[in-house]
Homo-oligomer: A and B are copies of this chain.
Amino acid sequence: MMSSKSGLKFIIVGGVAGGMSAATRARRLSESASITVFEKGPYVSYANCGIPYSLGEVIQKEESLILNTPKSFKDRYNLDVHIDSEVVKIDPQQKTVDVRVQGEKTIERYAWDKLVLSLGAEPFLPPIKGIDLPHVFTLQTIPDLRRIRCALQASTRVKHVAVIGGGFIGLEAAENIKGLGFEVSILEAAPQVFTLVDHDIAERIHTELRANGVSVHLRVNIKEIQPGHVMLGSGETVPADVVIAAVGVRPRTSLARDAGLKIGSSGAVSVDHFMRTSHPDIYAVGDMVETENRVLDRALPLALAGPAARQGRIAVDHALGILKEGYRGNVGTSICKVFGLAVASVGTSARVLQQMGKKPLWVTVYPPSHAGYYPGAQPLSLRVIFEPESGRLLGAQVVGKEGVDKQIDVLAMAMQTGMSISDLEHLELAYAPPYGSAKSPVNMAGFVGTNVLRGIVRIMHPEELVSSGFPLESIQLLDVRSPEEFGRGHIPGAVNISVNTLRERMDELDKNKYTVVYCGVGYRGYLAYRMLEQNGFEQVVNLDGGTSLFFSGGFDLNSRKTLQ
């Protein structure tokens, strides 16, 4: 059936998702290939995404992280897997690699026909004074996990843990270490954690972290790490018997550089659609390479397990000559659990797009996770970002307690297929009361966004309302919720006319004034917008996300005034 290039010699450098997907795929396709894997560390196939959860004892047995061993790979796949074996040099002309086994001085040379590099990325250590102290750890590998576990258990005096960085690993580490009973602080240089989403969306994560007893320090500048604490530039001292440095990762490229392989503009290894480097028989996959970001139309590294596994497969399929079509680039679909919330993102945030000089549109909706009348529905915060003229999707963000993973997958599918905001109206998704709504959350975003795109409604984002340049004093701010809702809390300065009485009470308002309407999530505000706009109000906008976004997003009109 399948013609396999018999006797081809594969060498794969680095295990885990990318490397072992390549190795096992190679064996499945070819019984006669020689397949050798060199892994620098002691484990060649483990669930690195599970490490924070093993630390937190959510995954109770550390063994469950270890998916395969050199022996199990030999037995099942006839692979020659060498652990503790570092490839120190590639000779692209002679097609060899030099390997040093840990603790040994001699170097062995191995020949290959096809070389697959899967070296991953290494935790980036920020140049902070004290970063090399023995109570500072990174959290990427099983040995890292064991070191941190020992440090936490070393003494009953270990009480405080500081996590530097509020990305995936930082957030997962904070939750899991807090779960063990330690006091946890997150120290983040940016104004927010999880920078893949916009600030006002991330604010729900800050609230969740604080509600669970994690101390969140944003915009921090770390001056020095000392035994027992971290000194901030502000003069503040954060207690820290153990410090986890989780500020991000950098592609491991030195071996590729030394071999003269092309490095891309992002600093990661450059590959074609078949994961081939600048050498026709050397492939590279996973966190060490740059691949096409389909939203930004440029090559960037992406440290995610799913793409790495697909790339390993593609490299081998191409090396064995069975592939017509290669890697399709990525849209950066990701999700992270933060205590009772999930936060997820695909594409690019409004903030990053604006920093790039673009003028994206976006809408924020608060649909229930399933039919509101069926028990247990939870509100989602769902944002979709799109291009002004075409409506082409540029990004999406979801936060909530239930069903976040489903919504982001639907949005990831929409982005991968190049959909526009108005395509989202038409999606036919599964509905039964326990699982969804007749109009799904993504449909809802499509309805609202398409109305914006077509000019059926104009919206204002809360950051515009609170920006110091906005003439707040000369506008009318209209709360169209019920008097009861208004009484429970409203945006300062707003007048209250319920949408149900607006048709009769419209003359209480000034048609010539710029009017900002809002409600709880945006829907009644939209109804009010339509009434006002058709009744001669010259400039009306509806506040995106209503009070739900305004109050959960950390906006404050008062602080604005004092800032002026």
A432 — which chain B residues lie within 8 A by C-beta? 49, 168, 334-337
Question: What's the minimum C-beta distance from A24 to chain B, rounded to whole angstroms?
Answer: 9
Do A526 and B438 contact each other (CB < 8 Å), given the known contacts A75-B500, A409-B430, A430-B344?
no
Q: Classify the secondary structure of A's interface with B.
A: mixed
Query: Per-residue 0/1 for A423-444: is the Cβ within 8 Å of any B Cβ (1 yes, 0 no)?
Result: 0011111111111101110010
When the two chains form the complex, which single residue of B75, B305, B430 contacts A412, counting CB atoms closer than 8 Å?
Answer: B430
Do A305 and B50 contact each other (CB < 8 Å), given the known contacts A409-B409, A430-B344, A527-B28?
no
With CB as the reference atom, state the residue of chain B lying closest to A436. B405
- In angstroms, Cα B430 to Cα A373, docked, is 28
Residue contact A425 to B310, C-beta cutoff 8 Å: yes
- In angstroms, Cα B1 to Cα A526, docked, is 14
Interface members, chain A 367-416 (any B CB < 8 Å) = 371, 373-375, 403-406, 408-410, 412-414, 416
A337 — which chain B residues lie within 8 A by C-beta? 432, 434-435
Number of residues on chain A facing chain B (CB within 8 A): 96
Q: Does residue A533 face the partner (Cβ distance < 8 Å to B)?
A: yes
Stretch at the interface among A57-65, A210-218, A459-467: A57-65
- In angstroms, Cα B408 to Cα A530, docked, is 36
Do A374 and B428 contact each other (CB < 8 Å), given the known contacts A28-B526, A29-B456?
no
Residue contact A333 to B455, C-beta cutoff 8 Å: no
Q: Does residue A503 face the partner (Cβ distance < 8 Å to B)?
A: yes
When the two chains form the complex, which single residue of B1, B32, B64, B346 contacts A456, counting CB atoms closer than 8 Å?
Answer: B1
Interface members, chain A 1-60 (any B CB < 8 Å) = 1-2, 4, 17, 28-32, 47, 49-50, 53, 58-60
A435 — which chain B residues lie within 8 A by C-beta? 335, 337, 342, 404-405
Q: Does residue A458 face the partner (Cβ distance < 8 Å to B)?
A: yes
Residue contact A330 to B428, C-beta cutoff 8 Å: yes
A50 — which chain B residues lie within 8 A by C-beta? 371, 373-374, 433
Residue contact B431 to A2, C-beta cutoff 8 Å: no
With CB as the reference atom, state the residue of chain B lying closest to A323. B454
Residue contact B47 to A433, C-beta cutoff 8 Å: yes
Q: Does residue A306 face the partner (Cβ distance < 8 Å to B)?
A: yes
Residue contact A64 to B430, C-beta cutoff 8 Å: no
Q: Does residue A417 face the partner (Cβ distance < 8 Å to B)?
A: yes
Query: Per-residue 0/1 for A299-341: is the Cβ within 8 Å of any B Cβ (1 yes, 0 no)?
Result: 0000011111110010000000010010110111111110000
- In angstroms, Cα B310 to Cα A327, docked, is 35
Do A534 and B31 contact each other (CB < 8 Å), given the known contacts A2-B455, A76-B500, A371-B47?
yes
Question: What's the minimum C-beta distance from A224 to chain B, rounded to whole angstroms?
Answer: 33
Q: Does residue A265 face the partner (Cβ distance < 8 Å to B)?
A: no
Q: Does residue A145 face the partner (Cβ distance < 8 Å to B)?
A: no
Residue contact A59 to B373, C-beta cutoff 8 Å: yes
When the two chains form the complex, which single residue of B331, B405, B430 contacts A408, counting CB atoms closer than 8 Å?
Answer: B430
Interface members, chain A 473-513 (any B CB < 8 Å) = 499-500, 503
Residue contact A454 to B322, C-beta cutoff 8 Å: yes
Q: Does residue A78 face the partner (Cβ distance < 8 Å to B)?
A: yes
Residue contact B430 to A333, C-beta cutoff 8 Å: yes
Q: Does residue A531 face the partner (Cβ distance < 8 Å to B)?
A: yes
Q: Does residue A535 face the partner (Cβ distance < 8 Å to B)?
A: yes
Do A428 and B49 contact each other (CB < 8 Å), given the known contacts A374-B58, A410-B409?
no
- In angstroms, Cα B60 to Cα A61, docked, is 41
Residue contact A410 to B413, C-beta cutoff 8 Å: yes
Residue contact B31 to A535, C-beta cutoff 8 Å: yes
- In angstroms, Cα B308 to Cα A181, docked, is 51
A-B contact pairs, 18 of them (CB 8 A): A1-B533, A28-B526, A29-B530, A47-B371, A49-B433, A58-B375, A65-B373, A78-B503, A306-B439, A310-B426, A313-B447, A327-B426, A331-B428, A333-B430, A346-B430, A405-B435, A412-B429, A413-B413
